[in-house]
Amino acid sequence: MRRMADPAYREQQWSRRFDPNIAEVNQLCESLVERKPGSEVPFVDPVHDVDECRIVSLFASPGPGTGSRFISTENDDETAARTLEVYEAVGLRPEHVMPWNAYPWFVFDEQDGKLTAAQISEGLKPLLKFLRLVPRASALVAHGGEAQKLADLLLKSKIPDIQKRGFKTYKVRALGGRAFAGKPADQQKWLDEVHAAYADAMARAGLLRTSR
């Protein structure tokens, strides 16, 4: 059982959602809900840290596992489980990475998680606000085509304070669903590519591999 499936653990994380290490990001999430009354934007798990974040993991949109009300590697879905496996494989600690979604609002039930071009474009301003809250982040790993399209928009925007960081983006495969449907050998190849992207991002940021 994933830890977010445990009500006691979920309540613990809920009580920490505005702790100093994550408050600004989760206040941004709240403000995005206010922009769209009746919408849902999951909070970011407080295991992450705005001051220590060096790498951003960009996914498409909140998946079914965010019924926990968090974007978390402890959610009960394939993407969350595989993301945690990737972080552990490369020795990336949670405080050094932060998840975000190209379209932060929940659309899974209505659109089967697929985004329109307009929704991807709409995700640029929230992404820029998010990146300004994690000023030490110098790399973004875009998982899947929709996140990659937003990463391209980010690069084209040429925002000075982002450019000054020597910001680098990596384009890799999405980590769940149909994106990982294939032969075991193919799946391993895709995982190796994801591992290589994170390992390079860690090296650029001066992060040492850690064991757990």
Q: Where are the domains of the chain?
A: 3-205
**Cα Rg, the chain, nearest whole Å:** 16
- The band of 113, judged by pLDDT with boundaries at 50, 70 and 90, is low
Asked if 157 and 129 touch (Cβ cutoff 8 Å), the reply is no
Is the distance from CB of 180 to CB of 190 less than 8 angstroms? yes
Residue 112 has pLDDT above 80, yes or no: no
CATH superfamily of 3-205: Uracil-DNA glycosylase-like domain (3.40.470.10)
> What percentage of the chain reaches a pLDDT higher than 90?
78
DSSP helix, strand, coil percent of the chain (3-state; round to 5): 50, 10, 35
Chain segment 1-25, per-residue pLDDT in tens: 689 999 999 999 999 999 999 999 9
Q: How confident is the model at residue 63 (pLDDT cuts 50, 70, 90)?
A: confident
Name the one residue in this structure whose structure tokens are 């709240």. 30
pLDDT, average across residues 32-38? 93
Q: Which pLDDT band holds residue 109 (cuts at 50, 70, 90)?
A: low
Percent of the chain past pLDDT 70, that is, above it, reads: 95
- Average pLDDT over the chain reads 92
Comparing CA positions, the residue from 68, 76, 79 lying closest to residue 45 is: 68
Q: DSSP letters along 75-103, please?
A: SSSHHHHHHHHHHHHHT--GGGEEEEESS
